[in-house]
């Protein structure tokens, strides 16, 4: 089974700051990686697909990148509405979510 | 617009069974597979498996083999999750999510609102 190791578990940052969340895959998953945002009491929403592509309607301050088996989600200028929990999801073999990163405003 | 509407909250006792429904609208139900995802209170998302809505064939993640059954009522555009012999650790919110090939990549692009199951004696 493919494991996804996500870090950090929690993150506190100031408005307009750059934020980066990472997921490390236990094996090669190519670009079969998506990122989701979950706000309190809500369902997850797709942000990034194919490791680097922005989903429709997602603000351009969100971006995804890949280096080997490490994947990153970057928020270039943190906004209040970005608070929530972020998850990576691999879809190369079955599905595995990362453990989540709780993002708060400092 | 695409909508997945799940059934309401359930309160069950250990050993009982529960059936959660997920009614789809706004698209052809049998064209897209359906995933099920568990979220225990204060915990992360856990993939339970998926069902091919065209053939009805289910695939279960290892931790969800045995007491969990995915089924369909295709004529009603509805996917169901049944959990038997409920345990306290089944207390969670269960999400259905549509599988969609987004520019060549599989994603879960539409989600139900979640169905809460509480197991308590």
| pLDDT bucket at B102, cuts 50 / 70 / 90 | confident
What is the arithmetic mean of pLDDT over B80-107? 96
For A99, the closest of B44, B62, B108 (CB atoms) is B44
Helix (H) or strand (E) holding A45: strand A45-49
- Hey, what are B90's tokens? 């089944």
How far does Cα A66 stand from its chain's mean position?
Answer: 12
Average pLDDT score, chain A: 97
Query: Average pLDDT, stretch B39-67?
Result: 97
pLDDT at B90 over 90: yes
Decide the pairing of beta strands B58-60 and A19-25.
Answer: unpaired
CB B76 within 8 Å of CB B108: no
What residues in A contact B61, CB-CB < 8 Å?
94-95
* A1/B105 Cβ within 8 A: no
Q: In sequence order, what are the beta bridge partners of B9?
A: none
pLDDT per residue as tens, chain A (106 positions): 999 999 999 999 999 999 999 999 999 999 999 999 999 999 999 999 999 999 999 999 999 999 999 999 999 999 999 999 999 999 999 999 999 999 999 9
DSSP assignment, residue A73? E
CA dist B26 and A84 (Å) reads: 28
Q: B51 CB near a chain A CB, below 8 Å?
A: no
- Which of B40, B49, B108, B109 to mutate to probe the A interface, most A CBs <10 Å? B108
């Amino acid at each position: 089974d493919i494991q996804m190791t996500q870090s950090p578990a929690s993150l506190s940052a100031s408005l307009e700051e750059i934020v980066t969340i990472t997921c490390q895959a236990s094996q090669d998953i190519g670009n079969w990686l998506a990122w989701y945002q979950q706000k309190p009491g809500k369902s997850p929403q797709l942000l990034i697909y194919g490791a680097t592509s922005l989903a429709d309607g997602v603000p351009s301050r969100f971006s995804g990148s890949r280096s080997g088996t490490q994947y990153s989600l970057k928020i270039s200028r943190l906004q209040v509405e970005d608070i929530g929990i972020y998850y990576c999801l691999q879809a190369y073999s079955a599905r595995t979510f990362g453990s989540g990163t709780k993002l708060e405003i400092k | 617009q695409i909508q997945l509407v799940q059934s309401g909250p359930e309160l069950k006792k250990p050993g009982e069974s529960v059936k959660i429904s997920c009614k789809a609208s706004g698209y052809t139900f049998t064209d897209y597979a359906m995933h099920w995802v568990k979220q225990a209170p204060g915990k992360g998302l856990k993939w339970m498996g998926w069902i091919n809505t065209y053939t009805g064939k289910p695939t279960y993640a290892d931790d969800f083999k045995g007491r969990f059954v995915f089924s369909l009522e295709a004529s009603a555009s509805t996917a169901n999750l049944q959990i038997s012999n409920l345990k306290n650790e089944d207390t969670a919110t269960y999400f259905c999510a549509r599988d969609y090939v987004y520019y060549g990549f599989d994603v879960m692009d539409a989600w139900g609102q979640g169905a809460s199951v509480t197991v308590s004696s």
